[in-house]
Amino acid sequence: MPTLRDHQGLRLTTLSALYFAQGVPWGFISVGYAVLLADLGLGAAELGKAMGLAYLPWSFKILWGPLLDAVPPLKIGRRRPFILFAELMMGVTLLGLFFTDPVKNLPMVSLLLFAHNTFAALQDVAVDAMAVDILPEDERGRANALMWAGKSFGVVVGGSGGLLLAQAMGWGALFLAMTVTMWLIALFPLLLPERPVEPDDQPVDARLLKLGVFLGPFALVGAVMYGLSVLETQLGDHWAAPLISVAQPFAAVGGALLGWPLVDRDGFRQMRESFSFATPWWALLAGVLAPAGYAMVGPAMSKLVRADLGFSEAEISTLAFVDAFAGVIGALVGGWLADRIGVRKAIGAAMGGISVFLMVWALSQPYWPLFAWLIAWTLLFQGLVNAYNAGTLGLYMSVSNPRIGATHFSVYMAATNLTYAWTAPVGGLVADHYGFATLFGVAAVVQVLTIVLLVPIDPATARARWATDR
């Protein structure tokens, strides 16, 4: 039977398909769910808070990485069981949405989306870990571009296509279609082994059940999140109440870090050693701050387009298609450019372009109601955003310690996703209090200032350091 490590075509197709599986529900959350919330009359701040809650589970990647690295090489594959489990549960949670009326029971929809994204984050970490394991160094730029393009295409299907399907047949039909999609894509890891079986591989053993101890930190994080939500409710209209939504993702990551040594002391020690010099810390800081400019406008933009400018479902669906089409092209160009001029230069160029287009939107308010202008701006803006995202995958892989690849890479990805969780409520607050033009202007300044964070991130220094540590 062919394996992913030994067959380039199967390897690239499978990784792209699995990223497509992440893109489909992400498209629904960023387009369909945002439209639903706007139609229910939520303000920009409330919408940002709800979207931040949906994004929050992606910060839990900081725990999924150690769990995956704690698993020994198995005959069935080291990463494949987690991918299959995550795909199964992603489908189950989407199926739960099929039986839930989002208009009558929005809190249950939020809970199911939170659970879905928790399993989607597990799938993402497992796929990234498998990519680190099986991709040759000289193939990573192309593979990362194809993977991000696959996710962008999934966003088209889940966002633009999903909104049209929901409009024509109802939200239940959309949830059922996404469930079937998840389970069909699961056939790739089910039928294709990661690599040939090796003599040191272990059979599945009951002793692996001890990994259930990782549920402890998740329970801790959940308790902290619940406590903060109760506190926010009790504060009511107090000025500090909106800050709770901003603080929640940081509290979640803090709880995960506190719980990590309890379940994986050796892995925590290795991670601490991996951050014993400057390069990984700069990469981590870039993960938290570099996407902040464009991330803070996303949920607010959904509210602006639907509620304030009054574009129809068909127009928003077209916009989502353009958004994702630009994402595919941008990802491919970003991967190509990273291979040609270097990953940091490619990322910096994309960030500069993003800042320019954020400021262009801020200064073009009279043209906002023109759908043609919105389409043109989205095409160029989202192309740059996805060129940036495709480049960062390769950058963070290059500064991840190979000894704990899944864990280290997931820390960077958790930091990046943490950005979306805290910027969503911040962007909503700025939009509600100072207007959308001000929000985009602030975002443009933030985006250009964070380019400087790329300068100290030196992959060559990281590779040399870890080579001597072996």
Q: Provide the pLDDT for residue 379.
A: 92
Which of helix, strand or coil describes residue 455? coil
Instruction: Specify whether 278 is located in the same domain as 247.
Output: no
Cα within 13 Å of Cα(300), Cβ side: 26
Instruction: Specify whether 227 is located in the same domain as 281.
Output: no
Q: Is residue 2 part of a domain?
A: no
Instruction: Specify whether 394 is located in the same domain as 455.
Output: yes
Question: How many angstroms separate the CA atoms of 344 and 360, rounded?
Answer: 24
Task: For tokens 């229910």, name the residue.
Answer: 40
**DSSP string across 43-109:** -HHHHHHHHHHHHGGGGGHHHHHHHHHHSPPBTT-SSHHHHHHHHHHHHHHHHHHHTS-TTT-HHHH
The DSSP secondary-structure symbol of 136 reads -
Instruction: Specify whether 346 is located in the same domain as 447.
Output: yes
Q: Flag whether pLDDT at 415 surpasses 90.
A: no
Q: Is residue 201 part of a domain?
A: no
Question: How many angstroms separate the CA atoms of 400 and 454, rounded?
Answer: 16
Query: pLDDT-derived band of residue 456, with 50, 70 and 90 as boundaries?
Result: very high
244 is in which domain, residue-wise?
Answer: 215-263
pLDDT tens-digit series, residues 40-97: 666 666 666 666 667 677 766 666 767 777 777 777 777 888 899 999 998 998 888 8
Q: Provide the pLDDT for residue 441.
A: 95
pLDDT tens-digit series, residues 173-206: 888 888 998 899 999 888 888 877 777 767 776 6
Q: Provide the pLDDT for residue 438.
A: 94
Q: Is residue 176 part of a domain?
A: yes
Give φ, ψ of 401 to 5 degrees: -65, 120
Question: Structurally, how many domains does the chain consist of?
Answer: 2
Question: How many angstroms separate the CA atoms of 288 and 174, rounded?
Answer: 33
Instruction: Specify whether 220 is located in the same domain as 321.
Output: no
Give φ, ψ of 202 to 5 degrees: -105, 150
**pTM for the whole thing?**
0.69
Share of the chain above pLDDT 70, in %: 82
Instruction: Specify whether 259 is located in the same domain as 270.
Output: no
Instruction: Specify whether 361 is located in the same domain as 463.
Output: yes
Q: Is residue 1 part of a domain?
A: no
Instruction: Specify whether 185 is located in the same domain as 227.
Output: no
Share of the chain above pLDDT 90, in %: 18
Q: Provide the pLDDT for residue 148.
A: 74
Instruction: Specify whether 87 is located in the same domain as 188.
Output: yes
Residues with Cβ within 8 Å of residue 391, at least 6 apart in sequence: 144, 334, 335, 337, 338, 343, 346, 347, 350
Q: Is residue 152 part of a domain?
A: yes
Question: How much is the mean pLDDT over the chain?
Answer: 81
Contact yes or no for 26/323 (Cβ under 8 A): no
Average pLDDT value for residue range 325-336: 82
Q: Which of 263, 279, 294 is the last residue of a domain?
A: 263
Instruction: Specify whether 189 is located in the same domain as 280.
Output: yes
Q: Is residue 28 part of a domain?
A: yes
Average pLDDT value for residue range 8-35: 83
Contact yes or no for 49/424 (Cβ under 8 A): yes
pLDDT tens-digit series, residues 30-42: 777 777 766 666 6
Which of helix, strand or coil describes residue 301? helix
Query: pLDDT-derived band of residue 412, with 50, 70 and 90 as boundaries?
Result: confident
Q: Which of 228, 247, 263 is the last residue of a domain?
A: 263
Q: Is residue 207 part of a domain?
A: no
Tell me which of 43-47, 170-174, 214-218 is least confident: 43-47
Question: How many angstroms separate the CA atoms of 27 and 18, rounded?
Answer: 15
Average pLDDT value for residue range 266-283: 85
Q: Flag whether pLDDT at 366 surpasses 90.
A: yes
Instruction: Specify whether 225 is located in the same domain as 332.
Output: no
Q: Flag whether pLDDT at 349 surpasses 60.
A: yes
Q: Which of 206, 231, 263 is the last residue of a domain?
A: 263
Q: Is residue 112 part of a domain?
A: yes
Task: List the CATH number of the domain containing 188.
Answer: 1.20.1250.20
Instruction: Specify whether 274 is located in the same domain as 253.
Output: no
Q: Provide the pLDDT for residue 206.
A: 67
Longest dimension (CA), the chain: 68
- What residues are paired with 202 via a beta bridge? 74
